[in-house]
């Protein structure tokens, strides 16, 4: 218990300084991320929202250390990120539980490999975490036997047992049906409010973003950079009713407008003619 509380109070600031990444060769280079600067503040839930395909996973890969930026720096507590490490836990867009390990084996996988703690200690914490995410009964099942929502919770447990400085979640609830998605959002927000670690959450759903966020980062279109950071001051603990408040509505309108502008801008660039300007101008009323 102690370790967990301590890590919750750990300072963890992630800084992205002018990060750029492009794919392709010299002749047909595609700039996915350009000049991306952002400070992910300690013990806050920062949500990145941007359309599908804008480069969110690319950015996550850079922060996780699976990929290197072409230019710019990524610093965690002032130290440059050079590769994957257990100080940054990623919950992936697609489920990445090892199908050949039971839920419990998946959860204890990291700590047991590293052998920093005694097995008894790890097992005790695993049981506690599995209890917390409501999977105590399913600990000896294989991932394939769990529902989509359960898999996501197992993944949360697998990340949390490592006490990372920062949790990075790449559209973790994508692909769940509306009902379990809502349940997972509620569950996740509870978990966060209980113990405020530094969290970077990536999504393409505005409502989800507003419901969860302390800080909402609206992304620009490709090449992706930060369009605007909005502080969300909805009270905590959150519940879904707050989403129908005028305050939430204002946030939503603002974010939607920004994203719409961005979408229009790239649409114009793609079509390369003034025609779309005319349409955008005409349809700007909605």
Ligand X SMILES: Nc1ncnc2c1ncn2[C@@H]1O[C@H](COP(=O)(O)OP(=O)(O)OP(=O)(O)O)[C@@H](O)[C@H]1O
Residue closest to Mg ion (Cβ): 57
Of residues 56 and 104, the one with the C-beta less far from Mg ion: 56
Backbone angles phi, psi at 246, to 5 degrees: -65, -35
Does residue 132 contact residue 160 with C-beta atoms inside 8 Å? no
Cα within 13 Å of Cα(163), Cβ side: 16
Least distance in Å: CB of 92 to another protein? 6
**Where do the H-state alpha helices sit in the chain?**
2-9, 56-64, 103-114, 119-132, 148-160, 178-194, 206-212, 246-271, 275-282
Question: Using CB under 6 A as the criterion, what x/- string covers residues 19-58 for binding ligand X?
Answer: ----x--------x-------------------xxxxxxx
Nearer to Mg ion, 31 or 112 (CB): 31
Per-residue binder mask for another protein (CB under 8 A), 159-198, x = binder = ---x------------------------------------
Task: For residue 241, count other CB atoms closer than 10 A to its CB.
Answer: 8
Distance CA 43, CA 202 (A): 16
If one asks whether residue 175 binds ligand X (CB under 6 A), the answer comes out as no
Phi, psi for residue 241 in degrees, rounded to 5: -60, -30
Question: What is the torsion angle, in degrees rounded to the nearest 10, for the CA atoms of residue 63, residue 12, residue 188 and residue 123?
Answer: 100
- Among 8, 51, 72, 85, indicate the residue that binds another protein (CB under 8 A): 85
Check binding of 204 to ligand X (CB under 6 A). yes
What is the C-alpha separation between 5 and 281, in angstroms, rounded? 53
Among 158, 163, 227, 238, the residue binding another protein under the rule CB under 8 A is: 158
**44-103 positions binding Mg ion, by CB under 5 A:** 56-57, 93
Binding residues (CB under 8 A) for another protein: these are: 64, 66, 83-86, 88-90, 92, 94-102, 109-110, 113-114, 142, 144-145, 158, 162
Footprint of ligand X on this chain (CB under 6 A)?
23, 32, 52-58, 93, 171, 204
Interface with Mg ion by CB under 5 A: which residues?
56-57, 93
């Amino acid at each position: 218990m102690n370790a967990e509380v301590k890590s919750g109070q750990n300072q963890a600031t992630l800084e992205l300084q002018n990060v750029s990444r492009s794919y392709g060769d010299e002749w047909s280079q595609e700039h996915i991320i350009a000049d991306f600067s952002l400070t992910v503040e300690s013990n806050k839930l920062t949500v990145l929202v941007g359309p599908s395909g804008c480069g969110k996973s690319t950015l996550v890969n850079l922060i996780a250390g699976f990929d290197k930026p072409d230019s710019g720096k990524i610093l965690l507590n002032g130290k440059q990120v050079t590769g994957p490490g257990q100080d940054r836990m990623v919950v992936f867009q697609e489920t990445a539980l090892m199908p050949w390990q039971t839920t419990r084996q998946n959860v204890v996988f990291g700590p047991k490999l590293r052998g920093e703690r005694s097995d008894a200690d790890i097992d005790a914490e695993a049981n506690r975490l599995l209890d917390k995410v409501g999977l105590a009964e399913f600990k000896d099942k294989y991932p394939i036997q769990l529902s989509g929502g359960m898999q996501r919770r197992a993944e949360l447990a697998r990340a949390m047992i490592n006490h990372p400085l920062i949790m990075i979640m790449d559209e973790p609830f994508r692909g769940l049906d509306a009902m379990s998605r809502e349940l997972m959002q509620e569950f996740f927000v509870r978990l966060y409010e209980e113990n405020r670690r530094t969290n970077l959450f990536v999504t393409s759903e505005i409502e989800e973003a507003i419901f969860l966020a302390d800080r909402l980062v609206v992304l620009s279109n490709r090449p992706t950079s930060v369009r605007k950071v909005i502080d969300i001051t909805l009270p905590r603990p959150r519940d879904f009713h707050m989403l129908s408040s005028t305050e939430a509505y204002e946030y939503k309108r603002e974010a939607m407008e920004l994203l719409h502008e961005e979408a229009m801008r790239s649409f114009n660039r793609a079509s390369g003619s003034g025609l779309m300007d005319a349409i955008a101008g005409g349809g700007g009323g909605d």
